Structure 1
Amino acid sequence: MTENPVLRLGIIADPQYADLEPNLALDRHFRQSLGKLEEAIDVFNGCDLDAVVTLGDLIDRDWESFDPALAVYRRLRHKALFLPGNHDFAVAPEHLSDVHRRLGMPAQYHDLLVAGHRLVILDGSEVSLFAVPKGHPRREQAKARLQALTAAGAINAQRWNGGLSEAQFTWLAEVLDHARDDGEPVVILCHYPVAPENAHDLWDAQRLLDMLKTYPNVRAWLCGHNHAGNTVTRDGTHYITFRGMVDTLDQNAFAIVSLYKDRLEIEGFGREESRVLRTGK
């Protein structure tokens, strides 16, 4: 295994920085995340990477938390990609519409070509009870969707999950169609998992699984949100949930993901475990 990877990403999930006392019941240490981010960036700066992805929940709450958290990334020598998590919207209502811009995102959801791979960045908070102000149509849609999931006894019928709009689904299908036609391998980045089934899954998990199994070029879904982390392979796509950085007082959690033609290698740091996932599509 001496060949070079075709895509290499640094991965950070759920730093949830805030100037807060720790939540000992959940073992979350919000202030410690600045030092953990610095450690991760020091490691990333010593590696050849195509980008560093933060998979949501950069902050735990409060608009003012973004400044110190984002300041750490100024030392990063690689391209930094951010996407929103549920905690990134735990800000005053007047700031809700500015979260994507504050994270440097060109749009709520978008795609880009990196090292020959189509990176698809989703916004799983688009339809939710926290990312838009009260009275917004998408908030009303979220209420209806959550009620339906609750009535069905769905394990992911949780107020801290979210879903995609029909417009985002339409856009995603178009991006995947073009990538398939152009022979581009795809990596999807989202805050929320869709597999294996658990309480943290995106409200649209099954719809997305049904959709993605029709695209043989989708190599991986990378996400956070479930701080315990997990990995499962479905229909040849690797669904990888990374462990939360905010958890524990003194143990970090981050990773480097290297995609080769025949496998995906994860080099874990701290609580994140290393593993090799073979390509089976």
Structure 2
Amino acid sequence: MEAAPPLFSFGVITDIQYADAEDGYDFEGCRRRYYRQSLQLLRDAVEAWAAEKPPLAFVLQLGDSIDGLNAGGGTAEAALERVLEVLGRLPVPVHHAWGNHELYNFSRARLLRSSLHGSAAASAGTPAACQAYHFSPAARFRVVVLDAYDLSILGREPGSPRYQESLRLLREKNPNDNLNNPEGLEEPRFVEFNGGFSQAQLDWFNEVLKFSDENQEKVVVMGHLPIHPEASNAVCLAWNYEDALSVIHSHQCVVCFLAGHLHDGGYCLDSHGVHHVTLAAIIETPPESNAFGTIYVYEDKMILRGRGRISDRIMTF
């Protein structure tokens, strides 16, 4: 038992990928995906979080809340409504990262008008039309939400400057006919289902961390895509992950980076003492298990208590 109570605690979950559909398989046809069951696992997570004492401060949903299957069936709005209804049973705020599956279903313009957009908590100076913001849940502590698809061809109008810039970057690195195919690439992360951070977002991020350094805050950062090669495979990283890491490593304040996308999850403690936690996905979790956690924050550490496929972890600062 801990001698002192935590300063606060929060829930973490990722890659729910709900669809009202029979079980299927991943793109390679070998990993089972439990589309319908994922909503029940989310309900179980919400029930467990709601029973926590003292109550959680908030929940972080790390992206891919509904599956791309919904886009083909015209069920995206209904699927998202069901996921948000379950999360809405929590008496605390839920903060959302955007993943590739949100962008298969909705344009960025639509997402900016949805409950998945953190506009209510949006901070001054946030880059325009970007799902990036920060908030402070407790004294000397800050959470930063990053938009890992700020550079992406997903969810954007083909004629738009950001689409053209993203397509140019992708084409430079990926000559394959199918832009989702990483085969033969020197840098296999340059596929359509990934994305990156614009320079405007990186500049904003740098300013936020500068403020946190000056105010002796500790910072947790979240985004859908992992940004450290040792907490991911070579395919699932953000396109310009080095740029995001470089911003983080030029400051003292960041203690942890939380991501999803890689369905098996991953972890590393990097050379600057930052914990990179990539959470396992709900969508590939069998019905008898689960994949969510609660993080308890103390002065000198965070303790992750995982359920099902997510391991417990002590992360010292």
Q: What's the TM-score once normalised by structure 2's chain length?
A: 0.83
Once residues 21 and 233 of structure 1 are traced to their aligned partners in structure 2, the CA distance between those partners, rounded to angstroms, is 38
1:56 aligns with one of 49, 63, 69: 63
The alignment-based identity, stated in percent, is 30
Once residues 252 and 97 of structure 2 are traced to their aligned partners in structure 1, the CA distance between those partners, rounded to angstroms, is 25
Structure 1 match to 2:82: 68
Once residues 7 and 179 of structure 1 are traced to their aligned partners in structure 2, the CA distance between those partners, rounded to angstroms, is 18
Of the structure 1 ranges 16-25 and 215-224, higher mean CA displacement relative to structure 2 is found in: 16-25
One-letter amino acid of the counterpart of residue 7, structure 1: F
Structure 1 match to 2:126: none
Structure 2 match to 1:2: 3
State the Cα distance separating 1:7 from its structure 2 match.
Answer: 3.5
Once residues 22 and 151 of structure 2 are traced to their aligned partners in structure 1, the CA distance between those partners, rounded to angstroms, is 30
Once residues 137 and 13 of structure 1 are traced to their aligned partners in structure 2, the CA distance between those partners, rounded to angstroms, is 30
Structure 2 match to 1:254: 292
Structure 1 match to 2:134: 111
State the Cα distance separating 1:261 from its structure 2 match.
Answer: 2.2
State the Cα distance separating 1:30 from its structure 2 match.
Answer: 1.1
Q: Is the 8 A contact 1:50 1:115 kept in 2?
A: no
State the Cα distance separating 1:104 from its structure 2 match.
Answer: 4.1
Q: Is the 8 A contact 2:197 2:244 kept in 1?
A: no
Q: 1:172-225 CA deviation, whole Å, 9 max, x = no partner?
A: 111111111111111101011011252111111111212211211101111111
Q: Is the 8 A contact 2:225 2:259 kept in 1?
A: yes
One-letter amino acid of the counterpart of residue 97, structure 1: A
Once residues 259 and 113 of structure 2 are traced to their aligned partners in structure 1, the CA distance between those partners, rounded to angstroms, is 20
Q: 1:103-156 CA deviation, whole Å, 9 max, x = no partner?
A: 142052111111131111111011112121222211111122223344771131
RMSD: 1.7
Structure 2 match to 1:204: 240
Question: Map of 1:98-247 to 2, 5 A cutoff?
Answer: 98-102=110-114, 103-106=116-119, 108-116=131-139, 117-150=141-174, 153-195=186-228, 196=230, 198=233, 199-234=235-270, 235-247=272-284
Q: 1:17-50 CA deviation, whole Å, 9 max, x = no partner?
A: 1122222333111111111111000010011211
Q: Is the 8 A contact 2:218 2:254 kept in 1?
A: yes
State the Cα distance separating 1:96 from its structure 2 match.
Answer: 3.5
Q: Which runs of 5 or more residues in structure 1 are unaligned?
A: none
Once residues 74 and 177 of structure 1 are traced to their aligned partners in structure 2, the CA distance between those partners, rounded to angstroms, is 34
One-letter amino acid of the counterpart of residue 194, structure 1: I
Once residues 8 and 221 of structure 2 are traced to their aligned partners in structure 1, the CA distance between those partners, rounded to angstroms, is 13
Structure 2 match to 1:271: 309
Once residues 243 and 39 of structure 1 are traced to their aligned partners in structure 2, the CA distance between those partners, rounded to angstroms, is 16
- Count of residues in correspondence between the two structures: 277
Once residues 87 and 258 of structure 2 are traced to their aligned partners in structure 1, the CA distance between those partners, rounded to angstroms, is 20
Structure 1 match to 2:42: 37
CA gap 1:258/1:148 in 2 versus in 1, 3 angstroms: farther
Q: Which runs of 5 or more residues in structure 2 are unaligned?
A: 123-130, 176-184
Of the structure 1 ranges 245-254 and 145-154, higher mean CA displacement relative to structure 2 is found in: 145-154
Once residues 96 and 172 of structure 1 are traced to their aligned partners in structure 2, the CA distance between those partners, rounded to angstroms, is 20
Once residues 83 and 223 of structure 1 are traced to their aligned partners in structure 2, the CA distance between those partners, rounded to angstroms, is 9
Q: What's the TM-score once normalised by structure 1's chain length?
A: 0.93
One-letter amino acid of the counterpart of residue 101, structure 1: R
